[in-house]
Structure 1
Amino acid sequence: MTELEPGRIDFYDGVAPGLRDDTYRVRVTTTVEHSATADHAGAQSLEVFTEDRWVKVAGAKYRLDPSEVLSVYPPPDSAGAYTTTLGHVVLRRRTLPWEKAVAPSTSTPWLALLLLDVNEATITRNVAAPDGTRYTTVSMSADVARAALPLRAEVPLLCHARQVAPGGPDTARDDDGWVAVVMTGRLPVANHAYNMCLVSLADHGAVLDRGSVPVTVTLPVLHDWTFKSGSSGTFQKVAAGVAQNAAAFGLSAGHPTRLDHIRRDGTPGVALYRGPIVGVADEPAAAAEGETDVSLSTARTLGRLLAAADRSLVRELSEWRRRDLMSGLGPPAFAAGSTPGDVAAETVARLSGATTDPWGVPDGVRRLHGRREGTPPEAPGANGAPSNGAIPRDAGTKAEGRS
């Protein structure tokens, strides 16, 4: 399989599976022949044996393994300006939408994503399926079904497959870079709450054709989530609104919020926190006794967690560190007649020396970090500097930072 160059995404109308869900007959025919010559000339057929075997290919019908869903948009339980964006779900298995077909067609995908106002439909959970499994259904009136469900000709246009280069979107939890995407055909309206339902159309071809729509349409739901659509606006407008809301609660660059806080030594205290939108004052007020400003520490921790959630970044950092560590060890030098125990001890000693400071943090960064964390200076080392690398509080060095 060809791997794409970084940043590239290839789109496909669909990816057909080797076999669609159905029942197949496998026929094996064996012919026994007799020939009097070595070259089998004039061979005569003595008997023909025929054996039939039936194979059923069955995938998901009423339930979908949660691991098959890589991501959804809008995010679950979120609120935002979604009035100009079509919702969609990204599926791990690239053939999933085309593994069944909606009869009588052999090419209409069996999955559809429905955008439904919370007042338009009823979601029922833990329903007993004909095969004994429990699943979820969504029920709506005929008028809602006509408005929410796509036409048969529209269903293939709302499904497609993608091959995404490593490190691209939707690949953090994927294993081969191939995904399937199912989109909705409706746009949300501002200031409404919605259910998003990935439904099965396998047994509901008549509804897609609009030929005979029952009074109540009930469909199996394979995955669903909710969100709220708010008013639209630019980032500047949203950011200004956040700042105004903060000011309404008395928060500003010079007046961060105060929260109950447990310090590292286990004693109670007060934490001062301001978000990145609020910013920092040119001359921030000094924290009072028992107060700790955790704004920068919170921003730093959030950045580290975001980086740790990026699987490709973590993999590249680990590979870089492994190459750096191994190159720093150099070739081993074992004396003649070394035992396996000697080799193990030498290897442990070499690795211990190489990993004393595994990330190679510069001394300047260490000193700045120590001062921001309020680490008390230790006794001077041999060169007159504190042994932990922190700058003494009376050294006159000013360290500033903004989140």
Structure 2
Amino acid sequence: MSDESGSVVFARKAAPPLAKGDYVVEVAQSTQNIADCKIANAQLKITVSCDGFALSRDEIYSVYPPDNAVGTFHLVIPHAVFKRRTLPWERRITGGKSAAEFKELPWLALLVFDETEDAQYKTMSRREAFKKLPGYYCPLPAVCPEGAAEEVTGEDCGVLDIEAQLFHAVCPGKEDLVYMSHAKGVSLDDKVTDSTVIDDWFSCALANRYLEGTSGEAVKQTAYVVSLEYFGEYLDKTPAERAAMTESTVRIPVLYSWPFYVRQEDFDFASVFKGLNADCLITAAAKEAGGNNLLAMGYTLLDHELREGSKTVSWYRGPLTPCGIPLQAHIPGCFADALLRYDPATGMFDTAYSAAWQLGRMLALRSKAFAAAMEKWRYTHKREAARLKNERLLSDKIGSDTRAAVQSMLETFLDSQERQEALKNGGRGK
């Protein structure tokens, strides 16, 4: 959701209504005045949880930089947007001595590594992933894997094996985690979303480091959404205590990941746009029509179905042109065809302004805010026109000396009309 000005609304945290755990709902009947009427008590057990070792692609609304994209992302903080507003707070960090602090922190984080750093992604069974291995720091769940629930011992999961000193350098501290996830509400009126998006609130996880690129070949970077649920004891350690750890490798669960490539120059929008080849728009039919001058102005030939059903070929150009073109249409037009222009030199139509009019109309009608504003405008002017008309009619009947009385009568009449209209619309009004 956005406020009335259309800006984004941010929230530091969106806690779920029920914390992770097991719940029991009991229903019992109590009767005092009806004898021999007793319904047996009912009980329903509910488990609230989410998978702490995997994240479906369907849970991701968007990522940035985009998956497998190549670009100048060296000044970008990578982030992932989730469809569930509560996802970063649906589980809690356990272990350590800071339970009260961990209650307010997200249990997941976004870490980014480039291809030159010692961070190896692996897929293995959950039982294998959390075995105690020499030289590895991998906090186990509260119960040993051999006796753990299916969530720990069952299907495969992804893990990231990171060189310990590298992990110490990039892992966020408790004071950083609070800033690395947030919830935000945005208006979906002018956005293209899939059918699974049912809410206008999302959650977002941010990385805690800028990306590095070179002026030569693009450097591959990979962003990992990782679980810190069992890293409470590690997060309680001071930097000196972390540096003193004897393990050489840290293993951490990975819920989701995506790669992208970073370059520092020669791959920005301007350089790519200048290198575009527009010759694909120059067709053989266009050259035969003798429209070389129009082609130089950015026009091309497209199929055109006229209003009465006949078909022809007409000229079309978009808003981006290689040279300045003066306005050649009478604007505004009442409908799209009013902006069609006939070129007697080629015997063909120019549909540029007509297509732009139709596109603008479709975009405007798609916006709920625009439709509401237009309806309000129509109603206001319709009411004012009715007031002026009735005032003029009544003034002709009773003379100009009673203009003030007429004005009062009209206001009363129009107010009653407005109330009746509201009743017809189910009390909603305009």
Q: What TM-score bracket applies, with the shorter chain setting the length?
A: 0.5 to 0.7
Counterpart of 2:7 in structure 1 is: 8
Taking the aligned partners of 2:29 and 2:198, their CA distance within structure 1 comes to 45
Contact 1:83/1:187 (8 A) holds in 2: yes
User: Is residue 396 of structure 1 aligned with residue 347 of structure 2?
Assistant: yes
Q: Alignment partner for residue 58 of structure 1, among 41, 49, 70?
A: 49
User: Is residue 68 of structure 1 aligned with residue 87 of structure 2?
Assistant: no
Counterpart of 2:106 in structure 1 is: 109
Taking the aligned partners of 1:392 and 1:282, their CA distance within structure 2 comes to 13
Q: TM-score, normalised by structure 1?
A: 0.56
User: Is residue 225 of structure 1 aligned with residue 176 of structure 2?
Assistant: no
Counterpart of 1:215 in structure 2 is: 248
Counterpart of 1:312 in structure 2 is: none
Counterpart of 1:150 in structure 2 is: 172
Contact 2:67/2:260 (8 A) holds in 1: yes
Q: Tell me: CA distance 1:227–1:31, structure 2 relative to 1, closer, same or farther (3 Å).
A: closer
Taking the aligned partners of 2:4 and 2:346, their CA distance within structure 1 comes to 51
- Letter matched to residue 230 of structure 1: R
Find the residue that maps to 2:223 and give its secondary structure.
Answer: strand
Deviations 1:120-154 (A, max 9, x none): 21111354453311221111111111122211221
Contact 1:164/1:171 (8 A) holds in 2: no
User: Is residue 135 of structure 1 aligned with residue 157 of structure 2?
Assistant: yes
- Letter matched to residue 9 of structure 1: V
Find the residue that maps to 2:199 and give its secondary structure.
Answer: coil
- Letter matched to residue 93 of structure 2: V
Question: Structure 1 residue 193: deviation in Å?
Answer: 1.4
Find the residue that maps to 1:370 and give its secondary structure.
Answer: strand
User: Is residue 187 of structure 1 aligned with residue 210 of structure 2?
Assistant: yes
User: Is residue 239 of structure 1 aligned with residue 239 of structure 2?
Assistant: no
Q: Tell me: CA distance 1:200–1:240, structure 2 relative to 1, closer, same or farther (3 Å).
A: closer
More helix by share: 2
User: Is residue 94 of structure 1 aligned with residue 125 of structure 2?
Assistant: no
Unaligned runs of 5+ in 2: 34-40, 128-151, 317-339, 357-430
Structure 1 ranges of 4+ moved more than 6 A: 27-32, 50-54, 269-272, 293-296, 391-395, 400-403
User: Is residue 203 of structure 1 aligned with residue 211 of structure 2?
Assistant: no
Taking the aligned partners of 1:89 and 1:106, their CA distance within structure 2 comes to 22
Find the residue that maps to 2:251 and give its secondary structure.
Answer: strand
Taking the aligned partners of 2:122 and 2:50, their CA distance within structure 1 comes to 23
Question: Structure 1 residue 28: deviation in Å?
Answer: 6.6
- Letter matched to residue 10 of structure 2: F
Contact 1:193/1:227 (8 A) holds in 2: yes
- Letter matched to residue 189 of structure 2: G
Q: Tell me: CA distance 1:190–1:17, structure 2 relative to 1, closer, same or farther (3 Å).
A: same
The total of aligned residue pairs comes to 277
Question: Structure 1 residue 73: deviation in Å?
Answer: 0.3
Identity over aligned pairs, percent: 24
Taking the aligned partners of 1:295 and 1:396, their CA distance within structure 2 comes to 15
Taking the aligned partners of 2:300 and 2:50, their CA distance within structure 1 comes to 50
Contact 1:71/1:170 (8 A) holds in 2: no
Question: Structure 1 residue 10: deviation in Å?
Answer: 0.9
Contact 2:315/2:348 (8 A) holds in 1: no
Deviations 1:154-194 (A, max 9, x none): 11211100111232568566212010011101110123210
Question: Structure 1 residue 12: deviation in Å?
Answer: 0.3
Contact 1:87/1:183 (8 A) holds in 2: yes
Deviations 1:234-271 (A, max 9, x none): 96xx424543x45xxxx5x6xx2599xxxxxxxxx989
Contact 1:116/1:148 (8 A) holds in 2: no
Unaligned runs of 5+ in 1: 39-49, 260-268, 273-279, 286-292, 301-356, 374-388
Taking the aligned partners of 1:170 and 1:393, their CA distance within structure 2 comes to 41
Counterpart of 1:317 in structure 2 is: none
Contact 2:22/2:46 (8 A) holds in 1: yes
Q: Tell me: CA distance 1:395–1:281, structure 2 relative to 1, closer, same or farther (3 Å).
A: closer
Q: TM-score, normalised by structure 2?
A: 0.53
Taking the aligned partners of 2:271 and 2:155, their CA distance within structure 1 comes to 50
Q: Tell me: CA distance 1:85–1:169, structure 2 relative to 1, closer, same or farther (3 Å).
A: farther
Taking the aligned partners of 2:43 and 2:352, their CA distance within structure 1 comes to 76
RMSD across aligned positions (CA)? 4.7
Name the structure, 1 or 2, with higher relative contact order (CA <8 Å, separation 6+).
Answer: 2
